[in-house]
Structure 1
Amino acid sequence: MTSIDNDARAPYLVRIDFLIELARRLHIYGTSAQRLEAAVSQVAQRLDIEAQIWSNPTGMLISFADVERGAPHQITQIIRLEPGDTNLGRLAAADAIAEDVLSGKLDIAEGLRAMRALDRPPRVYAKPLAVFSFGLASASVTGLLQHTGWADLCTAAILGVLVGALTVYSETRPRLRDAHEALAAFIVTLAAGAVSSFIAPLSLQGVIVAALIVLMPGLTLTNAVSELTSQQLVSGTARFAGALTILLKLTFGAVAGAHVVGLLGWQALSNADATALPNWVPWLTLLAGSFAFAVLFKAARRDVLLVMASVWLGYLATKLAATLPGADNNTVPTGVFFASMVVTAVSNAYGRYWNRPGALIRVPGIILLVPGSLGFRSFNFVFERDVMLGLDTAFGVITALIALVAGILFGSLLISPRRNL
């Protein structure tokens, strides 16, 4: 597709406004730096704009050639933004508007108005559904863990809903928002300790991890390493530091909660005789979890089944890789590498064939592969003065991240992405 005439004739500042709005939205909808810069650069070329963009997790710097005064004068925009959260529905909508502008279905002024119209308030049921999805995601992770029972699953689901309610409540309260990960980890650890001491025996560490799983910055860690491999050194380093900060807050809250449990003298009941979950439960919880991730990633209604299928694709690819010869004895996480490569290739093929963002498949497809819980456990071990076990777990995190990012890179080599989204 080439630039169209009405784009070329549109006022230069209008074209710039449209490009800035597109870049801003890609940022707030969770696009990583290298994908954002590449996508915006391609659109700028199609709109006949000479632009340079530099993106980082907390803002952007965009510079345009000044056509009135000529070289070396430039028009520069500095945009301060909060780190973006994944919003697949609005990402797809913004991409569709850009595609309509480039194809001539909308002129640039109409496209700019349509882009700004995306800032509509959430539906009435959005927040309660998000809170419920926190619980579904926690139950799903519990069902996929080994050596868990019905008490673990129910406790994790209830605590996940509690974490979801706290997260939604803190969104409009800046002081609470900065500390809500630590507070959530403290409450979850304290509540799980009470349940395991007075109500039912639990696999305590697994329940705590499952209840906090949505807050784990596994996807952020993956994006950070992906940016670093793409030579986005500033953005990757900043994003990596942000992910480690979240892990530290979660770990501090969990350690503080465990300390209070110890001070209260609560003794956990033995779960040696606990009955394991039936074999069919993991598949049911995976179905519930895939729906929960579709809600948490804010997928549009038309894409809910696609996002759910993508979660299943990543999980089944991991299971398939486990059957490969030598996979059990391999120190490299073969399943993570194979699954991320398959998911990336499929997402790129979908993007090219359907002319829509491949992120609709790629992001949910790798969500069960990201090593956020391993990072949490690594810091936990260090706080408990078990440094060697903490370092060993940290090495597992690094290995999983390398395998995951390598799979994404190899998947893009197999099938090139469409406009990098």
Structure 2
Amino acid sequence: MSSTERPEIVSTREGRGRAELVLEIGRALLRLGAPAYRLEDTMKVVAQRLGLQGQFYCTPTAFIAALGRGSRQRSFMARVDESEIHLAKLSRIHDVIEALSRGIMSPVAAIREVREIMEAPAVYPLLIRLLAPALFSASIAILFGGGVIELGVAFLLGFFTGGLGLLMSGSANLARLYPALAGFLSALICGSAVFIWPEFSVYLALIAGLIVLMPGLGLTLATRELASGHLVAGSSRMAGAVVALVIVGFGVALGSQLSQLMTGPWPQEISLALPAWTHWLAILSAAIGFTVLFNAEPGKLGWIMLAGILAVEVGGRVSDWLNPGLGALVGALLVGLLGNLYARYRNRPAVVIQVPGIMLMVPGSLSFRGLSSLMEQDAMGGVQIGFTVALVAAGLSTGLILASALLPPSRSL
């Protein structure tokens, strides 16, 4: 029987099991926040290793998989309502893929293992997950040049937004309301702090406190998806990031206007300056915060901190010397090379290092400042900041693409 006449493998019982495994891995990666270019590449690799011919089309919330040849091809679609970056689960799923490729795990066992991975409990206890956004916000306040009061207020706001997010995550309707409500209440709380500390930069503390809600990573991933030719995925992710930013901005605008009716115009003077050594403490705090927020394994903290140092010290200095876009490119290139080197020699996914590393460079706070300028009818300032946001996002995407070209990772993630 010729190759064109033999039965398609997807139509057999064994083939259906292999197809189910491809779909199960795809659903898992989609829920774990994998961008379209990584998701499609990984599913192609899995299908090839299972002896299946497949074509895949992915968006941020769904994917279509066509498995088989010619007229015997079968199409499948999967959709997820929400996704969360979970680096520990991503790493474990790629261990499953490695075991499949070596033939030491059957498709049935692999499906069972993937489902167990996705149902596994949180890596960190509740208190640690509450403190992580607070640490991240405090570190951003320091890196933005804030003083003692800005640091304290940002820490409290980060703790509040993290707790509110965990509290509202149990209901789909409440979760949709969360960004606007968090922005509104954070603005009220931050403005009320003026009654206790009359002289501190309310705006800086507010941005740092809300940094976990800023869609900087979404803007960066969308730019890279567009640059990689995934136009629908990139456009939809970009639209989602912009809408998320507008929703948070609306809540902040409402809360700030209400707050300033009671306090008057917010002060902008920086409070008592922090010593220089706190800069390094901020990088360590940010690395700890990223490790928890992205559910990375505790043993990866050293690598994540090294990526943060490259991003802040090298990328940040190039931004100061030349321009933000070039600084983002250099920082992302170094973080990308570090992640790919880690993937090659530790046989782990590169994203475990790259995602936390670029978080200190993503244009989340810049995009919020641009939106605030537009809301204050400063069109020129808003457009200028918007251009800088686009420049930084393009620089980050280009740096990561260049890193993959210079030193390709050993894994698709």
Q: CA deviation at 1:211?
A: 0.3
Q: CA deviation at 1:12?
A: 0.9
SS of 1:105's equivalent in the other structure is coil
Contact kept, 8 Å, 1:151 with 1:200, in 2: the verdict is no
Q: Normalized against structure 2, the TM-score is what?
A: 0.93
Residue 6 of structure 2: aligned partner? none
Residue 3 of structure 1: aligned partner? none
Contact kept, 8 Å, 1:299 with 1:307, in 2: the verdict is no
1:7-406 equivalences in 2 (<5 Å): 11-65=14-68, 71-123=70-122, 126-146=125-145, 148-268=146-266, 271=269, 274-319=271-316, 321=318, 328=321, 330-331=322-323, 333-406=325-398
Contact kept, 8 Å, 2:142 with 2:151, in 1: the verdict is yes
Amino acid at match of 1:177: A
Contact kept, 8 Å, 2:325 with 2:394, in 1: the verdict is no
SS of 1:77's equivalent in the other structure is strand
Q: CA deviation at 1:80?
A: 1.3
Q: Quick one: distance in 1 between partners of 2:126 and 2:16?
A: 38
Matched positions, count: 404
Q: Decide which moves more: 397-406 or 330-339.
A: 330-339
Ranges in structure 2 where 5+ consecutive residues have no aligned partner: 1-8
- Aligned Cα root-mean-square deviation (Å): 2.1
What are the Cα deviations for residues 12-50 of structure 1, in whole angstroms up to 9, with x where unaligned? 111111111111111111111011101211221121101
Contact kept, 8 Å, 1:203 with 1:271, in 2: the verdict is yes
Q: Quick one: distance in 1 between partners of 2:123 and 2:94?
A: 25
Contact kept, 8 Å, 1:133 with 1:295, in 2: the verdict is yes
SS of 2:71's equivalent in the other structure is coil
- The 1:73/1:17 distance shift into structure 2, 3 A limit, reads same
Amino acid at match of 2:382: G
Q: Normalized against structure 1, the TM-score is what?
A: 0.91
Q: CA deviation at 1:332?
A: 5.3
Q: CA deviation at 1:138?
A: 0.4
- The 1:312/1:192 distance shift into structure 2, 3 A limit, reads same
Contact kept, 8 Å, 2:201 with 2:267, in 1: the verdict is no
Q: Quick one: distance in 1 between partners of 2:77 and 2:24?
A: 13
Q: Quick one: distance in 1 between partners of 2:305 and 2:91?
A: 16
What are the Cα deviations for residues 251-310 of structure 1, in whole angstroms up to 9, with x where unaligned? 1011101110233244545736x3211111121122111101100000123333333333
Q: Quick one: distance in 2 between partners of 1:270 and 1:93?
A: 46
Q: Quick one: distance in 1 between partners of 2:124 and 2:295?
A: 13
Q: Quick one: distance in 1 between partners of 2:323 and 2:276?
A: 27
Q: CA deviation at 1:412?
A: 1.3
SS of 1:60's equivalent in the other structure is strand
- The 1:376/1:99 distance shift into structure 2, 3 A limit, reads same
Contact kept, 8 Å, 1:293 with 1:308, in 2: the verdict is no
What are the Cα deviations for residues 117-143 of structure 1, in whole angstroms up to 9, with x where unaligned? 113352495332211111000000001
Contact kept, 8 Å, 2:17 with 2:107, in 1: the verdict is yes
- The 1:305/1:236 distance shift into structure 2, 3 A limit, reads same
SS of 1:72's equivalent in the other structure is helix
Ranges in structure 1 where 5+ consecutive residues have no aligned partner: 1-6
SS of 1:118's equivalent in the other structure is helix
Q: Quick one: distance in 1 between partners of 2:388 and 2:318?
A: 18
Q: Quick one: distance in 1 between partners of 2:187 and 2:249?
A: 10
Give percent identity, aligned residues only.
31
Amino acid at match of 2:398: A
Amino acid at match of 1:14: G
Contact kept, 8 Å, 1:195 with 1:201, in 2: the verdict is no
SS of 1:192's equivalent in the other structure is helix
Q: CA deviation at 1:200?
A: 4.1
Contact kept, 8 Å, 2:342 with 2:348, in 1: the verdict is yes
Contact kept, 8 Å, 1:159 with 1:188, in 2: the verdict is yes
Residue 5 of structure 2: aligned partner? none
Q: CA deviation at 1:316?
A: 2.9
- The 1:208/1:171 distance shift into structure 2, 3 A limit, reads same
- The 1:317/1:105 distance shift into structure 2, 3 A limit, reads farther
What are the Cα deviations for residues 155-191 of structure 1, in whole angstroms up to 9, with x where unaligned? 1101110000111111111222112111111111111
Residue 3 of structure 2: aligned partner? none
Q: Quick one: distance in 2 between partners of 1:243 and 1:223?
A: 10
- The 1:85/1:152 distance shift into structure 2, 3 A limit, reads same
Q: Quick one: distance in 2 between partners of 1:10 and 1:306?
A: 44
SS of 1:117's equivalent in the other structure is helix
